[in-house]
Amino acid sequence: MTSGDAAAAGPGTHRLPRFVFDQFLTGAVSSAGIAFLRKGQYSLRRLKLRVLADAAAELAHRLGPFADVDAAWRVLAEVERSDAAVVEDVLLYPSVGVWLSRALRHVLGGIEDPTPMWSEVGGFHALAAAAAVRGGVPCELAVPVVHGSVALPSVGLFRLSTGFPVGHARLRNTATETVVTAFGSTSPARFEPVKRYSEHRRGHRVRVVFDDLDPYRGFGGPKAADPLDDNEYDQWRKLMGEAWDLLTAHHSRWAEELSATLATVIPLSAEHDVFAASSSAAFGGIAMSPKRSATEFAEALVHEVQHSKVNALLDLVDLHHGDETPRYYAPWRDDPRPVVGMLHGIYAFISVVEFWNAQRGSAPPALARRAHYAFGLRAHQVGQAVRTLLAVEGLTGLGREFVTAVADRLAACGPVELPGELAATVEAITTEHRGRWRVRHVRPEPAVVAELADAWLSAGSAFPVVGPDHVVLAPSSGGSRLGELLKRRAMGTDRLDFGDGPDSALARGDRRGAVEGYAALIRAAPHEEAAWVGLGLALGSTALRRTPEVVRAVHLAATRSGAAPDPVELAAWFDRTAS
């Protein structure tokens, strides 16, 4: 790095070595391959930091205490001269990537956010101060105060006596101490350090920060620290240690990959509705809620780190050229997805398929059914999505290799053979999810609906609806009660008596009761989406299972003519005459 008006050394040109891409295709990437991806991410962040510095310099009059961006740059340059590894480690800290993306959008005018631009840009100074503290380099910088604290990425948090959401302080670092001056008071900065954890098993070491302090740890805007108490932290460490033992014993290639990639785990509360997540801006960072077992913890680590890999890959190569409109059905999502989202999904979930396929032979009795269920469900989902992607136009040569490799990995797992009634339950779960997606997001052509309604009213014949789907992004309808009940049945949960509704009837295997219940719901509320999907499952109707949106639309059109069809008879008519 250079300071002043001189340009920083460019990040250089990175070309993906073929051996790294070949490792991508087969699954886990070696530590050497991950090192190359990290190098690419580091160069990209340096470039973004230079762009931020240049853009911020043009806005100095709006940045208040952080107008002198070059001061932060000079500190980083000095730390780099004495210990370049410190600068690299701080700049690659996952939350720094989140902050950097937000700060760039702020200065380039692409974000509307309650966080003031001057405070967001001040993260540059916090980044430089973190490097100085870790590198033992003297400095004096303004630093942002966020939710009453001064946070230095990868270092820790210094709490002030105020709870102001934004502000600024002055940090001075010397060879002997770090002091902070804020709101007229100066005191030694006794940072609450980040929670660093290390575990070594069978030749593989994982080093990770349990990040409960950094304002940008949650992949979005700055939020207050939420530190784990001692008991919670002990539980997270226990699960991590047990998961690492499992991974090194049974999944050594994933362990090597995680050892080179994983940087932070962001604990979410038990009430959080996100079980595990990652961000394209936070390479090596994983947010997750508490897991019930080390096996589930290990699965989440393996799954989410794949997204970090794919994000880093997409910064270096193109897998798809073309429209990125969200229009495709991803069996693991309730909303339409673009091609890049589909590519992410198949790559992340094939690792889950392989993980549970291996676990099926060694899982303890309490987890055996879960292992079979997860393997069967994810294998079905990946297979369906791969077929979709192979028909997509615009995949590059590397993109087609990427998708074909996932198909080969799925085939290598062998046939999906599930015990007992589990296969039928998994099929019902996947059919219900696809039907719910279609009835919400796919819009039949009005002329086709009108023609089918006329055919019904005139006792004619239906006809198959062909052609590309017209997909719209409709508002979320929330979770699926039937889907949840079917999942509980798949997991072997006996608590299926949730009243007398048709969802409960179908989950119990009472198809007749379910048909009567769904038909009654539709007669009372013809627009009801979930009832049409449930009716298709209860009847075993081909038309309702494949294109529930068409049957529902024809019912509504015929009803507007004054003759509401019986939903069961309408489904039977489609099944009987559309061929």
b/e map 140-176, b = 16+ CB within 10 Å: ebbbbbbbbbbbbbbbbbbebeeeebbbbbebbbeee
Q: DSSP string spanning 39-72?
A: HHHHHHHHHHHHHHHHHHHTTGGG-GGG--HHHH
CA proximity to 283, closest of 231, 219, 342: 219
Q: How confident is the model at residue 9, as a pLDDT?
A: 38
Are 346 and 339 within 8 A, CB to CB? Answer: no
Hey, where are the domains in the chain? 18-189, 320-419, 424-577
User: Rounded CA gap, 38 and 34, in Å?
Assistant: 6
Q: How confident is the model at residue 492, as a pLDDT?
A: 80
Rg (CA), the chain: 27
Given a cut of 70, the residues of the chain with pLDDT beneath it are: 1-12, 272-274, 493-499, 579
CA proximity to 503, closest of 481, 476, 520, 524: 481
* Residue 482 identity: L
What beta strand segments (E) does 138-191 contain? 139-146, 149-152, 156-159, 166-173, 178-182, 185-188
Terminal-residue alpha carbon distance, the chain: 68
Q: How confident is the model at residue 1, as a pLDDT?
A: 60
CA proximity to 470, closest of 445, 498, 487, 491: 445
Are 94 and 264 within 8 A, CB to CB? Answer: yes
Q: DSSP string spanning 260-303?
A: HH--EEEEPPTT-S-SEE--TTSTTEEEE---SSHHHHHHHHHH
b/e map 293-308, b = 16+ CB within 10 Å: bbbbbbbbbbbbbbbb
pLDDT, tens digit (0-9, with 9 covering 90-100), for 154-172: 999 999 988 788 999 999 9
Residue 532: partners with Cβ closer than 8 Å, 6 or more residues away:
435, 439, 518, 522, 544, 548, 551, 552, 567
> What's the CA dihedral at 389, 393, 397, 403 to 10 degrees?
0
| Cα→Cα distances 347→31, 36, 125, 524, Å | 19, 19, 37, 43
Per-residue tokens: 75: 């500190």
Per-residue tokens: 106: 């702020």
Q: Is 219 helix (H, G, I), strand (E, B) or coil?
A: coil
Angle CA 462–464–469, to nearest 5: 130
Q: How confident is the model at residue 478, as a pLDDT?
A: 79
pLDDT, tens digit (0-9, with 9 covering 90-100), for 75-97: 999 999 999 999 999 999 999 99
Give the pairing of strands 192-193 and 166-173.
unpaired
User: Rounded CA gap, 303 and 348, in Å?
Assistant: 5
CA proximity to 158, closest of 129, 135, 138: 129
Per-residue tokens: 407: 């198909």
User: Rounded CA gap, 438 and 425, in Å?
Assistant: 20
Q: Is 468 helix (H, G, I), strand (E, B) or coil?
A: coil
Are 432 and 486 within 8 A, CB to CB? Answer: yes
Residue 16's CB is within 10 A of a number of other CB atoms, namely 18
Are 363 and 422 within 8 A, CB to CB? Answer: no
Q: How confident is the model at residue 323, as a pLDDT?
A: 87
Residue 233's CB is within 10 A of a number of other CB atoms, namely 16
